[in-house]
Amino acid sequence: MKKLFPCLIGLLILLSVLNLQAQPRIWNLNQIDHAKNSNSEVVKAVIREADKNLSATIATVMDKPLTPASGDKHDYMSMGRYWWPNPNTKDGLPYIRKDGVSNPELEKFDRNPLSKMTRSVIILSLAYHLTNNEQYAQKAVENLKKWFLDKKTRMNPNMEFGQTIPGRNNGKGRGEGVLDSYSFVEMLDAVELLKSSKKFPKEDQTALKDWFSSYLNWMLTSEIGQEEYNAKNNHGTAFDVQVVRYALFTENNEVADKFVKTFPERRIFSQIEPNGAQPLELQRTKAFGYSVYNLTHFMDMAFIAKSMNQDIFHAISNDGRSITKAIEFLLPYLGKSPTEFPYQQIEEWDKVQIDFCWVLKRVDIPMGTDNYKNFYSKYLPDNGKDLNFLIY
């Protein structure tokens, strides 16, 4: 029996590792595990950030200075990024759109607190996984409970007031607001890492699953959710990725399978031209950035689908539309100046070039190819501290 006990412990550990490997994810878990005990620059950066998060207090939806039209502060509220006061009216209403120019009034609402919360959970969970220090897991769970579970501070599972526009639609949100919750997709990869911690009890895991089940139901049945479902650009792509990730997290495999199987026809082939152009993204004032942004969503879905033993990355239409073709359309502009790009990119040229390099690297390394190494090796800054070096 004494010899059998260590064997049973070893078997349980092995089963836990295999179960973690089998979970749907967009992260490269092999890369993360390889970094354990490496003392690399990115690992040290994660630990430093996690240490700061240990003493930090996250803001919740209850901390915003304004209340949504529902009268319930538990309802998430944000403002459309590119909407500004109308210069032709005394009160500035209704707001008008300036595509690509962000209004700093965004700071008043819940979008930034949501982003900071998900970032904290991601960093703390990674630190826990890398070090086995339960302090990091405890703080990550505390932040999850504040945002999703605590009756005093929790967010209601809807985006009814996401990306509102002052003076329009009677204070209600828009389909575009569903995009605000996209960071939950990556956060759920972090949640999977937390499941091995004794600081994340089963009742909390179940409660979190219930929250996402309610949110998924809202996405699929609400008027605003349907607006985003019907979006023809990156918003529609992001909607599908969220649906599949939340469906898998809540074990709604039927919904996940349906959305993955229809994804190539509904999103890839409809948004990418035979020559690789993404017309709805190229018409924006940040055309390169939005084309890359949509490619990032395509890659996220490709990795989630891969965990379901489905291949959408290599899906190709009869007339040649595919993710690869969209990548090849942008390649000639990598490393070039914005003046050589025949569309608009009014700001952040260097940033979106780097974002594109990460798309290329994500294609090569986890997908088992070496097609784009010459590109990202040349143009991707090797500072070693970028979190992408750890998770991808």
pLDDT tens profile 144-173: 999 999 999 999 999 999 999 988 988 899
The DSSP bridge partners found for residue 84 are: 96
Percentage of the chain exceeding pLDDT 90: 85
Proportion of the chain above pLDDT 70, given as a percent: 93
- Is residue 311 situated within a structural domain? yes
**Which residue shows structure tokens 């959710």?**
225
Is the dihedral angle over the CA atoms 277, 278, 282, 288 positive or is it negative?
negative
Q: What is the pLDDT of residue 108?
A: 87
What tokens does 356 get?
A: 């594109």
| Predicted confidence (pLDDT) at residue 389 exceeds the cutoff of 70 | yes
Instruction: Using the 3D structure, point to which of 183, 208, 230 is the last residue of a domain.
Output: 230
Are residues 252 and 260 in contact, defined by beta-carbon separation less than 8 angstroms? no
Residue 178 and residue 139 in one domain: yes
Structure confidence at residue 366 (pLDDT) = 65
Whether residue 155 is found in the same domain as residue 280: no
Q: Is the pLDDT of residue 23 over 80?
A: no
367 exposure class (CB count in 10 Å sphere: 0-12, 13-18, 19+): middle
Residue 223's φ and ψ, nearest 5 degrees, are -65, -45
Same domain, 91 and 200: yes
Q: Could you tell me if 341 and 284 are in contact, meaning their C-beta atoms sit under 8 angstroms apart? A: no
Specify whether 211 is located in the same domain as 154.
yes
368 and 350 inside one domain: yes
CB 82 within 8 A of CB 284: no
> Parallel, antiparallel, or unpaired for β 96-97 and 83-84?
antiparallel
Residues in the chain: 392
Secondary structure in 3-state letters for 359-385: HHHHHHCCCCCCCCHHHHHHHCCCCCC
- List the one residue out of 131, 128, 150, 155 whose CA is nearest residue 139: 128
Strands, E, within 247-310: which ranges?
Answer: none
Across residues 271-276, what is the average pLDDT?
98
Question: Do residues 223 and 210 share a domain?
Answer: yes
Q: Which domain holds residue 167?
A: 58-230
Give how far Cα 310 sits from Cα of 206, 262, 331, Å.
27, 12, 27
310 and 225 in a common domain: no
Q: What is the DSSP letter of 154?
A: P
pLDDT category at 22 given cuts 50, 70, 90 is low
Mark which of 212, 230, 248 sits at the end of a domain.
230
Per-residue pLDDT reduced to its tens digit, 68-110: 999 999 999 999 889 899 999 999 999 999 999 998 888 889 9
The dihedral region occupied by 184, where left means phi > 0, alpha psi between -120 and 50, and beta the remainder, is alpha
- Does residue 134 surpass a pLDDT of 90? yes
Place of tokens 């009869």: 318
Please state the pTM of the whole predicted model.
Answer: 0.93
Give the residue from 388, 383, 359, 354 showing the smallest Cα distance to 371.
Answer: 359
The angle that helices 287-307 and 253-263 make with each other, rounded to 10 degrees, is: 130
Exposure of 137 by Cβ count < 10 A (0-12 exposed, 13-18 middle, 19+ buried)?
Answer: buried
Q: Are residues 243 and 125 in the same domain?
A: no
What is the predicted pLDDT for the residue at 365?
A: 78
Residue 233 is given by DSSP the state S
What is the CATH classification number for the domain harbouring 175?
1.50.10.100
Judge whether 10 lies within some domain: no
> Do 89 and 221 share a domain, yes or no?
yes
Mean pLDDT over all residues of the chain?
A: 93
Average pLDDT of 347-375? 91
Domain count, the chain: 2
